[in-house]
Structure 1
Amino acid sequence: MTDPRLDAWRTLAAPAARPLLAAAAEVEAAGVTPSAVTRLRRDHPRAPVPEALDLAGARRRSAAKFDDPTRLLLDRAGLEQATSAMVAKWKATRFGSAPVLDLCCGIGGDSMALAGRGPCVGVDRDPVRAFMAAHNAGIETIVGDVETLPIDRPLVHLDPARRDESSGRRSWRLEDLVPGIDVIRRIVDEAEGAAIKLGPGVPMPPPVLHARQSVSIVAESGRLVQAIVWTGRLARSTSVEAVDLPSGRTLEGEPEALRSGPVELEGALLEFHPAVERAGLGPQVLREHLALGEVEVEPAVGLGLAVVDRASVEQAVAGGRGHWFRAISIEAVVAPRPEAVADAIRRATPNPRQVVVRTRGGAVDADDWTRRLATLGGAAGAGIVEVHGLRLGRSTVAIVGRPIDHSKS
Structure 2
Amino acid sequence: MTPEDFAALLTPEGRTLLDSLRDYDPGKELAVATRLRRDHPAPLVSAALGQARLRQRAVAKFGAEDAFRMYFTPGGAEMATRASVAAYRAGRLAALGVRSVADLCCGIGGDALALARRGIRVLAVDRDPLTAAVARANAAALGLADLVEVREEDVAAVDTSGYDAVFVDPARRGGRGRVFDPEAYSPPLSWAARAAAAAPCGAVKIAPGIPHEAVPAGAEAEWISDHGDVKEAVLWFGTAAEGAAGAAPGAGPAVRATLLPGPRSLHAAGPLPPPPVGPVGRYLYEPDGAVIRSHLVAEVAGRLGGRLIDPTIAYVTADELRATPYATAYEITDVLPFGLKTLKALLRERGVGTLTVKKRGSAIEPEELRRKVKPQGPSAATVFLTRVAGAPSMLIGAPAAAV
Match of 1:155 in 2: 165
1:231 and 1:9 map into 2 onto residues whose CA distance is 37
1:99 and 1:145 map into 2 onto residues whose CA distance is 20
Match of 2:195 in 1: 187
1:237 and 1:358 map into 2 onto residues whose CA distance is 35
Match of 1:344 in 2: 346
Pick which of 270-279 and 338-347 moved more. Answer: 338-347
- CA drift at 1:241: 1.1
What is the TM-score normalised by the length of structure 1? 0.83
- CA drift at 1:281: 0.9
Match of 1:273 in 2: 288
Could you tell me whether the CA contact under 8 Å between 1:217 and 1:226 is conserved in 2? yes
Letter of the structure 2 residue corresponding to residue 234 of structure 1: A
Cα distance change on mapping 1:260 and 1:234 into 2, 3 Å: closer
Match of 2:151 in 1: 142
Match of 1:18 in 2: 15
Match of 2:49 in 1: 53
Match of 2:116 in 1: 115
Alpha carbon RMSD of aligned pairs, Å? 2.7
Question: Secondary structure of 1:120's partner?
Answer: strand
Question: Secondary structure of 2:335's partner?
Answer: strand
2:168 and 2:137 map into 1 onto residues whose CA distance is 19
1:375 and 1:281 map into 2 onto residues whose CA distance is 35
Could you tell me whether the CA contact under 8 Å between 1:390 and 1:396 is conserved in 2? yes
Could you tell me whether the CA contact under 8 Å between 1:214 and 1:237 is conserved in 2? no
Pick which of 249-258 and 337-346 moved more. Answer: 337-346
Match of 1:389 in 2: 385
Letter of the structure 2 residue corresponding to residue 386 of structure 1: T
Cα distance change on mapping 1:377 and 1:356 into 2, 3 Å: farther
1:286 aligns with 2:301: yes
1:388 and 1:183 map into 2 onto residues whose CA distance is 43
Could you tell me whether the CA contact under 8 Å between 2:223 and 2:234 is conserved in 1? yes
- CA drift at 1:78: 0.7
2:351 and 2:153 map into 1 onto residues whose CA distance is 63
Letter of the structure 2 residue corresponding to residue 298 of structure 1: D
Residue 174 of structure 1, aligned match among 182, 194, 203: 182
Could you tell me whether the CA contact under 8 Å between 2:258 and 2:290 is conserved in 1? yes
The 5 A counterparts of 1:3-402 are 5-22=2-19, 28-33=25-30, 36-67=32-63, 68=65, 69-96=67-94, 97-117=98-118, 118-137=120-139, 138=145, 139-151=148-160, 152-164=162-174, 166-167=175-176, 169-208=177-216, 211=218, 213-232=219-238, 233-235=240-242, 236-238=245-247, 239-253=254-268, 254-256=270-272, 258=274, 263-287=278-302, 289-292=303-306, 295-300=307-312, 302=313, 304-306=314-316, 308-311=317-320, 314=321, 316-317=322-323, 322-345=324-347, 350=350, 354-360=354-360, 363-370=363-370, 375-378=375-378, 381=379, 384-391=380-387, 396-402=392-398
Match of 2:251 in 1: none
- Which string of whole-angstrom CA distances, capped at 9 and with x for unpartnered residues, describes residues 138-186 of structure 1? 322001111121113121111011112x44x112211111112342243
- CA drift at 1:334: 3.5
- CA drift at 1:282: 1.1
Could you tell me whether the CA contact under 8 Å between 2:329 and 2:399 is conserved in 1? yes
Question: Secondary structure of 2:212's partner?
Answer: coil
**Percent of aligned positions that are identical:** 28
2:375 and 2:189 map into 1 onto residues whose CA distance is 53
Letter of the structure 2 residue corresponding to residue 366 of structure 1: P
- CA drift at 1:373: 5.4
Question: Secondary structure of 1:153's partner?
Answer: coil
- CA drift at 1:375: 4.3
What is the TM-score normalised by the length of structure 2? 0.85
- CA drift at 1:45: 1.9
Cα distance change on mapping 1:55 and 1:222 into 2, 3 Å: same
Letter of the structure 2 residue corresponding to residue 144 of structure 1: E
Could you tell me whether the CA contact under 8 Å between 2:361 and 2:385 is conserved in 1? no
1:214 and 1:394 map into 2 onto residues whose CA distance is 33
- CA drift at 1:62: 1.0
- Which string of whole-angstrom CA distances, capped at 9 and with x for unpartnered residues, describes residues 283-319 of structure 1? 11111x2134xx454145x2x213x3322xx1x23xx
- CA drift at 1:369: 3.0
2:193 and 2:255 map into 1 onto residues whose CA distance is 19
Structure 2 gaps of 5+ residues are: 140-144, 248-253
